[in-house]
A and B are shown apart, each in its own frame.
Chain A
Amino acid sequence: MSTVIDITLLTFLAVTALAIIRTRNLFAAVMLAGIYSLVSAGLFTALDAVDVAFTEAAVGAGISTVLFLGTLALVGWEEEKPAHQPILPLVVVVLTGGALVWGTSDLPPFGVATNPVHESPIAERYIEESGHEIGIPNIVTSVLASYRGYDTMGEATVIFTALVGVLLLLAHGPHPRRVWEGDRWSTKWDDPQLQDEDDETLEGDGPFESDSPEGGSANG
């Protein structure tokens, strides 16, 4: 039964990916990417990775779609027709894919309990000892927060850094624009008329006013 589910969902994924490639409407592509995430979340559930499925459903189908749509609202919905036939990319992709398929002949078969990855002492330790050592049933949480706590702290730092990067790129005005002046391109800075509409709330007080009482409430 689970084999049937597995094969069906994987086929759905392939079909959705094909549709994403073929459409030139970016809105449709983003929506299909949301469906793709949701189907892969279903696949993760079928493969026993419930925590991963939960994250993929919340992040991939939720926040990611919202961020892509926010970008499309700024840059437009239509993709231009490609200028030339994609012969070279196709050759590269087919060659790479062929090499990878050839490489899978060395991989251990799917789902067998004696595969090297399951025989490793580290996974055994997590499964057999985390009940005693950590005392919570969800092994994934034990590993995430305790055994591999360094890792998770690194991840938290990475996503915080990404936020700082996004804010540096987007939360500040003014920004330069290229303007066509008859015979050449010149760089112009935003005119003040663009500044005075509705997002002073974001830029005026700004996220950069740092004398906040936040630390206390978050630590409490």
Chain B
Amino acid sequence: MDDQIILRLAAKTLIPFILVFALYVQFHGDYGPGGGFQAGVIFAAGFVLYALVFGLRRTVQVMPPWVTLACGAAGVLLYAGVGVVTMALGSEYLNYNVLAHDPEHGQHYGILLVELGVLITVFGVMLGMFYAFAGRRSLDG
């Protein structure tokens, strides 16, 4: 799409806002609609838009495919790791109350970390799937 100058300019302008909006959705998820699942999808959508307008090759330079797979795994690991930490602090698996002195603060930290894990996983999975489909060549060439 090298000749579509309006499309390229619009995409270039929009993508930073899409990524920041994803972070807003992530960290505002405690107070309004939003959270890790939605933020991960929106973050991935920013990269998908880049790939659609500027081509897969350049997107892969920004965000290599192995990073998406690693993100998928790292998010689950972070989530499960929070559970292990709460167990190490002498409570049940994924009981965030022990993460801070005040149980309510503990819940805040726990939810923050867990939602971060969800964000990382969903982002990695969605973008990795897009790469898998877009990188496949059709039989006709």
Contacts and interface: CB of A to CB of B under 8 A. Distances in A.
B33 interface: yes
B128 A163 contact: yes
B98 interface: no
A189 B137 CA distance: 15
A167 B74 contact: no
Contacts of B30: 136-138, 141
B69 A167 contact: yes
Q: Looking at chain A's contact residues, is the secondary structure mostly helix, strand, loop, or mixed?
A: helix
Contacts of A149: 83, 94, 114
B79 A67 contact: no
Given A149-B114, A171-B135, A54 B38 contact: yes
B130 interface: yes
A177 B64 CA distance: 29
A90 B134 CA distance: 36
Contacts of A157: 76
A50 interface: yes
Nearest to B28: A138
Contacts of A153: 76, 79-80, 83, 94, 114
A71 B41 contact: no
A159 B122 contact: yes
A171 B136 CA distance: 8
A74 interface: yes
B126 A63 contact: yes
A138 B33 contact: yes
Contact of A51 (B33, B83, B104, B131): B33
B7 interface: no
A80 interface: no
A156 B38 contact: no
Interface in B87-141: 93-94, 96, 103-104, 107-108, 110-111, 114-115, 117-118, 120-122, 124-126, 128-139
23 contacts: A53-B33, A54-B34, A63-B44, A66-B52, A66-B130, A75-B138, A134-B104, A146-B96, A146-B110, A152-B79, A153-B80, A153-B94, A156-B121, A157-B76, A163-B69, A201-B135, A203-B135, A206-B65, A207-B131, A209-B66, A210-B70, A212-B67, A219-B78
Interface of B: 25, 29-38, 41-42, 44-45, 48, 52, 56-57, 60-61, 64-81, 83, 93-94, 96, 103-104, 107-108, 110-111, 114-115, 117-118, 120-122, 124-126, 128-139
Q: List the 8 closest A-B pairs by CB distance, nearest first.
A: A214-B70, A70-B133, A218-B74, A202-B135, A50-B33, A135-B104, A136-B30, A170-B132
